[in-house]
A and B are shown apart, each in its own frame.
Chain A
């Protein structure tokens, strides 16, 4: 059977001419099927695409830095494409080539596909990655493919990437680390022809002329119930990821040290000018009728230094352009000197300009002198019920 391709662009279907109570032609069913396929397969799940503040210090004894990003898997057989571009060659004077290993720690159930430059099970010497040379203008990128089909959809996973200098502890680390990190989720069927697509869709033949469009089977992808279920999945399984990643061993930078107990301190100490919070923004979807919006999971991977005490990370947000006072969502950060993840649910408003909120983060501790270090801050849509 010849298989028709998914259209390369959606076809607008006007309401004109449709009268409530009148029957619907099979041509409409074809359009639904086509548009569903288009909708679901061009919305590739973008997980992260971020840049890193360059490490500017020269820290003897530190050979490794790392970061992590959060990942909420969508149902079905999927692949995550992970990519990095390396930091700058630390040897600024002699331009001696420098190399590193980038080891990615995968979520439970995930496996590498083929040979990945980030796979620590492969001989380290075979996958040394060169830092970017300052004399080369074209940037280098490295990619790995991860089969995440067996990963749970019940919770948010951590992907960790650690960068280790190959020359050991005696080397300066200025300039090392990552420059960019990106990840997106695609169907496993995209790269494996032996895997049938498990993506939502409706067989196009269902709407063929002569086929009654009221016909359906709960177990097949045909019929109006198929469209109905496919719509619900399209609505609920597509989850926006908004996140910021940081080098985890960047602590010699000015830190978010609480000067005064119980007074909020701007958390984004990793940007140079912290007196004015950056105008971070996020687009907030609106799916159901009424004022409700998509619930987000506010998530942070962190560790502390200083006095042990009760600490909180506060998300301050308001509709973009509203001029309203900021609302807050508080994420409790139990004191921990090892990397830990905390998360809480928050409802963001969608009434701002272009459905955006502007936001910033602050840190509060009951003890002056407490510091917090961050690997990742994420706002990820929860599944829509």
Chain B
């Protein structure tokens, strides 16, 4: 069963060893992938839950939120980036 909050799954295969497995989440603000562990706070040490979008974010984006920056989901940043590049290409 996947760890609460996980969206991905990572496996490392080494000859002669048991497969090392880890659930992962993708930061909803910048798309960094982080491994998580079971427990009350699966994001401890690798991120936090954003109360703006109710999705996990990586430690860097969690720090930005703690500094007072607002929640900005990746889709929003992507739309802005694509619009800017479309404008630049049209010049």
The answer to whether A and B assemble together is no
